[in-house]
Chain A
Amino acid sequence: MAAIALPNTFSGTRSVFRVCPVTTFKVDLAAERLIIVNAVTAIVALLLGGIYALLIGLTRWPDVHLLSAPWFYRLLTAHGMNMLVFWMVFFEVAGLYFGGNALLNARLVGVKLAWVAYALMLGGAILVNVIIMMGRADVMFSAYPPLKADPLFYVGYILFAVGAILACCIFLATLVMAKVEGRYEGSMPLAVFGLLTAAIIALFTLLSGAVALIPTLLWSLGIGNVDPGAYRVTFWGFGHSAQQVNLSAMIAIWYTLATLTVGAKPVNEKLSRFAFFLYILFINLGSMHHLLTDPGLGTAAKFFNTSYAMYLAVLGSLIHAFSIPAAIETAMRKKGYNKGLFGWLLNAPWKEPGFSALMFSLFIFGFIGGPTGVVLGAGQLSLLAHNTWRITGHFHATVVGGTTLAFMGFAYYVLPLVFRRPLFAKKIAQWQPWVYGIGLIILSISMTLAGTLGAPRRHWDVTFSNVTIPVQVQPLMNLMLTFSGIGAVIAATGGAMFIIVAVGSLLFSPKRDPKALSPLEA
């Protein structure tokens, strides 16, 4: 391992870097340890959330109906927290440190503070998980008052958010210091710009979470009161905006994976940066689709959201939706794959797990998650769809089929390049994005259709099988509920395949410098 030491401005200390023999990136060793520890913790949260997902999926499958009602809601709370918050944010923090450090050849600023941030996030995540499993916080991810959890649940939530705010500030300071120390020339790379967008949205998101959760903590301690309407408005400033952080990070990873897998370059970098900028201004208003049916929010705000902000946010997404496939097509055509309209696509490296994960993520997000979100963002349609399983179908296609799959694809590069562990069980890695992607396509489409036929979300028994007065359920809805169970089992298998590859690589692969960029050859 080649190592170099570079002096740090102001402090007089020196940071030690290793030079990656494949990418030639300079990796700050102090940052590398933080990237590894945050990414590993993220994978543990993914494992927990995945186990709960399988159990929940088998409960909503009417013929299986596995869990009792209390355990269904308990594990639904734990699933939401581990997947939507802990897996995502730990991985994003690893991504921020990687982007701010390796992609800019810069050192990480405030390494000790970064460890404090990690400790806060880990402590918060453990506390939340323990309190949920003790049965003292069956309030689900949104924790709407007057549902009240143990105060320690809110303490855990807040500790995690404070740690994440600190991590975002460290990333921003790292970018500033990289510029001051002249570690890169010109504009920062597009992927880092995307991560910067994610960090800016994350700060707004986490502060909204604090505004919602701190009074709720006091209320759970018997101090003061919480207005449920005000809570809903501020909570969704956190709850849905957190998914916009995931969106920005996912798109930054899409651009990165397109470059890593086929050598694609953005067709127009300024346009892509403009699309990220649109996100900063408008995408957070996407959170309002949870509030379009809420009487606590004024008509003017709903009109502005559904008429203007939504269009400009979607414009950003459509720019990316064109730019990334166009960059891949251009790169493949340059390599000589010019036959017909789609020769470039058919001849793409589909056996490379990074590429198949990228394409499944693009397809699931682009054709299922994004468009269903646009439909749900229309006020009048929201009246029909709100709190049905359509919402769940939408966000399983965005956060899971889109973001999680993109993160998994990126992890296949991180394992050999940053962890310096060649992939364990390469055949499993090759098939994993296919299994996970197909499972999620079945899951999200059947959730959406079941919701359209009237299945409510967050419901232990939508067929009302044990009630005194029988409820007529459409047979087609029952079929969709069954399909969603099958989709959940296939997706959980794909998730388990990822865990086998990731954990197996960490535990059983010998540590050595990568030999090639491709994770199958590294």
Chain B
Amino acid sequence: MDNKHSGPETPGTVVLTFLLLLWIGFLYFGNWITLSQAWGIR
């Protein structure tokens, strides 16, 4: 068995996907916060 590396085979894509999920979360919850502030919900 080839044990040259133990991480994922596509580490770059894993990082890019993580950044994408963070970005979606930022957009989603950022908008939620803006919305709740606009409605005066604290």
Contacts and interface: CB of A to CB of B under 8 A. Distances in A.
B16 to A, nearest CB: 6
B1 interface: no
Interface in A358-389: 366-367, 371-372, 374-375, 378, 380-381, 383-384
A348 to B, nearest CB: 11
A408 B35 CA distance: 38
A425 interface: no
Q: Is the interface of A mostly helix, strand, loop or mixed?
A: helix
Contact of A326 (B13, B20, B28, B31): B13
B40 interface: no
A367 B23 contact: yes
A374 B9 CA distance: 29
Nearest to A345: B12
A348 B2 CA distance: 26
Contact of B12 (A321, A341, A381, A384): A341
A267 B12 CA distance: 14
Given A321-B20, A367-B23, A381 B13 contact: no
Contacts of B15: 341
B13 A325 contact: yes
Contacts of A381: 31-32, 35
Nearest to A384: B35
Interface in B5-37: 9-13, 15-17, 20, 23-24, 27-28, 31-32, 34-35
A366 B20 contact: yes
Nearest to A385: B31
Given A367-B20, A380-B35, A329 B13 contact: yes
Contacts of A383: 35
Nearest to B28: A375
Nearest to B8: A326
A341 B20 contact: no
A371 B27 CA distance: 7
A341 B17 CA distance: 13
A179 B20 CA distance: 39
B20 A374 contact: no
Interface size class of A (residues with CB under 8 A): 20 to 34
A329 to B, nearest CB: 4
Interface residues of B, number: 18
Contacts, number: 53
A333 B8 CA distance: 13
A322 interface: yes
A303 interface: no
A434 interface: no
Contact of A330 (B10, B24, B35): B10
Contacts of A384: 31, 34-35, 38
Residue in B11, B24, B28 with the greatest tally of chain A CB atoms within 10 Å: B24
A206 B41 CA distance: 43
A157 to B, nearest CB: 35
B30 to A, nearest CB: 9
Contacts of A366: 20
A518 B22 CA distance: 36
A342 interface: yes
B35 A341 contact: no
Contacts of A61: none
A322 B28 contact: no
Contacts of B11: 341
10 contacts: A267-B10, A318-B17, A329-B13, A330-B9, A344-B12, A371-B20, A371-B27, A381-B31, A381-B32, A384-B38
A329 B17 CA distance: 13
Contacts of A345: 12
B27 to A, nearest CB: 5
B23 A322 contact: no
Contacts of A321: 17, 20
Interface string A79-112: 0000000000000000000000000000000000
Nearest to A343: B12
